Amino acid sequence: MRRALEGIRVADFSHVMAGPYATHLLRLLGAEVIKVESPKGDAMRYYGTDRRYDGMAPAFIAVNAGKKSVVLDLKQPRDLQRARRLIQRSDVLVENFRPGVMERLGLGYSAVKALKPDIVYCSISGYGQSGPRRDWPAIDNIVQATSGMMSLGGEPGGPPMRVGFPVVDTLTGQTAALAIVAALFRRERSGEGEYLDIAMFDATVAFMTSAVVPYLVTGRALERTGNVGYSGQPTSGIFMAADGRYLSLGVVQQHQFEQLARALEREDWLVDPRFGDPERRRENAAELLAELDAVFKTRDAAVWEAELSRAGIPCGMVRTVGEAVELPGLENRALRIPLTIPGLPEKERVEVVGAGILGSSRCSDQLDPPPTLGQHTEEIIEWLDRDR
C-alpha cells in the first residue's frame, strides 16, 4: 500500500532538531529525504556526553532514520551548483538556518522559485523571517521562556520550570510538517508552490492556545498550579500510593467525583456538605486532600490505576519513559520502529519512535538506519551531475 507522500522528494538543509523532526515525519509518511550536510556534519551527530556515539548520537538517530546524506560545502561554487540541481529535482525544501543565511548563499526563496516554480519552501527559525526579533538567536529552552510556557511550569510561588524534553523543537517540527503537507495538497489542486515561514515562538504560542486564549478573553494570566489541574479541584493532582509510586488523578466534573467516591468506598463524601459541589471542594481542599492521601496509601499505584480506570475514572500511574514504552499493546500502534545500526556501541539493534498515526495509508513501520555522514554523497553527486 502506497504511503501518503510516496513520490515526494525533500531537499533537507536543516540541522539539529526542529527541521530534522519535520522531515522525519515526512519520511515516515513516505517521502524521500535527502539530507544536505556540511563537511562537519549535523551538530546533532555529536550531541551528548558519551563520545562513543560521536557521529551517530541517540538524538540524531531519533529524527534521521531512513534519510540519505550528501555532503555539500555550500561555500564552494561547484557544490552550490549541485545544491541547485538537487532543488530542481525536489518537491520540498526545508531549512532552519538563521534568517538571511540562505539568501546570502543564493538559495533564498526568490532564487529557488526561479529554479523550481512549484517548490514548497519551508523556513524554520526562532522568531520568524520578519519582525523585531527576527535576528535573535533561539533554542528550545529560550523559546520556552520567551513564549510564556516556562512561566506555567513549577509549583505556586516557586521558580519557573522548563518542560523536561525539547518540546518546542518537536512541536515546531510537527507544525512545519503539517504546513508542508497542506502546501503539497494545495499545489496538487493549483499547481502553485508556496513559501512557509515557521517560527518556534509562533508554534509554541499556538500550541498553548488553552492558556493563551483565556488571557486574551479575560485579560488575566493563568497562575502556576504545579501538579494540580487548572480546574483547581483537589481531585485533580498527584497522590502517593502504598508502594511509594505516584498516581495522577483527573477528576474535575461532578459525576466523576461521585464515581470516585463510590470506587474508593467513601460514599460518605457524597453527603458531606464540605464536598457537595466543585466550589465547596475547592474551599475545603485541605480536608479532602488529607482523606484522599490516606485512602491512596492503602494500595499500590498500579492496582489503583487498573481499578479506577475500569470504573471510568481518569487516572494513571506516573511512569518513567522506559516504563511507558514497555507497556503491552504498543506493538500494534506502530510506535516503535526497529533498526539495525552497524557499529553502534552496546547494541546494534535499536528502535526509533513512529509518528503516532494509524490510518489506511499508514506511516512507515520499517526504515533504513540513519545515514553516516556523507554516506550517499557519491551516489547523489553522480545523479546530480548526470544530464546537466
**What pLDDT sits at residue 361?**
61
CATH fold group of domain 236-240+246-317 = formyl-coa transferase, domain 3 (3.30.1540)
Residues recognised as catalytic: 169
Instruction: Identify the H or E element spanning 302.
Output: helix 301-310
Distance CA 49, CA 52 (A): 9
**What pLDDT sits at residue 364?**
73
With contact defined as beta carbons under 8 Å apart, do 236 and 316 qualify?
no
DSSP string, 73-88: -TTSHHHHHHHHHHHH
pLDDT in tens, 43-84: 999 999 999 999 999 999 999 999 999 999 999 999 999 999
For 9-207+331-385, give the CATH class. alpha beta
pLDDT in tens, 155-206: 998 999 999 999 999 999 999 999 999 999 999 999 999 999 999 999 999 9
pLDDT in tens, 248-301: 999 999 999 999 999 999 999 999 999 999 999 999 999 999 999 999 999 999
Same topology for domains 9-207+331-385 and 236-240+246-317, yes or no? no
Choose among 228, 238, 246: nearest CA to 302: 246
Domain limits of the chain? 9-207+331-385, 236-240+246-317
